[in-house]
Structures are given as C-alpha cells and as structure tokens.
Amino acid sequence: TISPRITATRDAARVTTRPKLRIVLRADSGFAREELMAWCEQNAVDYLFGLARNVRLARHIAAELEQARAESSLTSRPARRFKYFLWSTRKSWGRRRRVVAKAEWTQGEANPRFVVTSLDAEARPAQSLYEDLYCARGEMENRIKECQLDLFADRTSAATTRANQLRLWFASMAYVLVRALRRIGLANTRLARASCATIRRKLFKIGARVSVSVRRIRLAMNSACPFQREWALTYARLSAAAI
C-alpha cells in the first residue's frame, strides 16, 4: 500500500513546473507529516492539514477554551475562539510550524480542532483561515461524491490501473463540463442548483427525433417536455458563450 502523503507529493510535483500556478494542499491529519510538509515548503506549495488533538496542543488554548465555556454557559449556545501559535511535535517534525486552533464549547463539552498551515498569519485572521479555507474541504468532498455517484467516477473495475485512471479522467472532465453548463446555461433557472444527476436526467436523457440533412442537424423534442424552456435557454447561452 502506498502512503497517501507520498502519492500527494508525487501528484503535486507534476504541476509545480508551472511557475504562475499557485497550489494549496488541503487535507486531513493523515497528511500532516514531515516529508510532505517539508516538500511543500521547499517547492513554494502552501498547505492546510488537520492535526490530531493531543494534550500538548490543548494546553495552548486552555484560556480560550475556558472563555468559550463561560460564554456558552451564559448563552446556551455553542461558543468558539480562534488562535494562532507555533508548535512542533517532539520528534517527527523538523521544525516548528504555524497552527491555527479552534477552541469550541458545544453541547456541554469541549470540541477543540487544530490545523497546521504554511499560510501567512498576517494575510488572514485565524477564524477565516479555519472556517473559510480549511472547512471548505467538506464541500470539496461533497463535489467529489457528486462526481462519483452522478457521473460514475467510481466505476474503476478495469483490469489495469491505466484504464481505470482513464475512466476517472473522463468522469472528471464530464463533471467540469456539467458544472460549466450549470453555471453558464442554467443560471437563474429552476435547475440553477441542480445536481449532476438531475441535469443528466432532465436535460441529457430525453427523447427527441433527430433529422440529418446536408446542411444541418435538427432535433425535434416532444411538445410536452417539461424542461424544454431550460433546454432551449441553455443551448442559446452556451452558443453565445462559444462565440
């Protein structure tokens, strides 16, 4: 089994040859390892990796956690504080690194969270870095799941790794195209927030009569098609965008 952090290092290395491309790696605590973080720092790649909580990390936010507990007891609602500090493991890391901590008190108990990052603390407040950048990882995983379930990116049963990789590329390219169709063609329609599966069923998998002549190809849709307005509007918008 290949370590995921080694795989991530190899994948990131393939695109660092593009000098104008900024890369930010965002992952859970399984990737917060010296090998990957040191490589990122040496190759101008930023990162945000989760950190597994421990007693030493918790000591850094003891005061903030107490403040959150006091606020929560008064309001009966979750309370949180955020903080930057420098920290290192005792043995596995080669140097101290910046950590952003969330000291949260919710449902009558502490819920601390930690993220190690290479991003500049002066450029973004700790709360924004955690909530806007790191927590967006969850939304990213939702989009990956959408690609897997709606566009069949999980169909990797071919006999070779290369064939499965090609299948995954096709599914990924299909997702990019469907997302562009939704953003450009379906804006301000009832399908503006539709999933890939809904778009596939409502706009792609519909019956039509195809007539081919020397000069043109005609599509005749059923007059009872419930999404004919969206189909025509999407076609017009995509045609205009392509000019």
Task: Summarize pLDDT for 149-185 with one digit per residue, the tens.
Answer: 999 999 999 999 999 999 999 999 999 999 999 999 9
First-to-last alpha carbon distance for the chain, in angstroms, is: 48
Q: What is the pLDDT of residue 87?
A: 97
State phi, psi for 219 to the nearest 5 degrees: -115, 120
The pairing of strands 208-212 and 217-221 is antiparallel
Is the confidence at residue 5, as pLDDT, over 60?
no
Long-range contacts of 75-82 (CB under 8 A, 24+ apart): 78/104, 78/105, 78/106, 78/107, 79/104, 79/105, 79/106, 80/104, 80/105, 82/125, 82/126, 82/127, 82/130
pLDDT tens readout for residues 203-241:
999 888 999 999 999 988 888 889 989 999 999 999 999
Contact yes or no for 52/78 (Cβ under 8 A): no
Is the confidence at residue 92, as pLDDT, over 90?
yes
Helix (H, G, I), strand (E, B) or coil at 21: coil
Mean pLDDT of the chain: 91
Q: What is the pLDDT of residue 62?
A: 97
Domain boundaries, the chain: 4-134, 143-242
Q: State the alpha helices, DSSP H only, in 76-212.
A: 126-128, 136-150, 161-180, 196-199
The strand pairing partners of 208, in sequence order, are 221
Distance CA 243, CA 32 (A): 46
Reported as a pLDDT band with limits 50, 70 and 90, residue 1 is: very low
Long-range contacts of 66-70 (CB under 8 A, 24+ apart): 67/103, 68/103, 68/104, 68/105, 69/105, 69/110
Nearest Cα neighbor of 110 from 137, 80, 132 is 80
Q: What is the pLDDT of residue 173?
A: 96
pTM over the 0.85 mark: no
pLDDT tens readout for residues 105-121:
999 999 999 999 999 88
Helix (H, G, I), strand (E, B) or coil at 87: strand
| Cα-based angle 23, 20, 14 (whole degrees, multiple of 5) | 55
User: Cβ atoms within 10 A of the Cβ of 138, count?
Assistant: 8
Percentage of the chain lying above the pLDDT 90 cut: 79
Reported as a pLDDT band with limits 50, 70 and 90, residue 122 is: confident
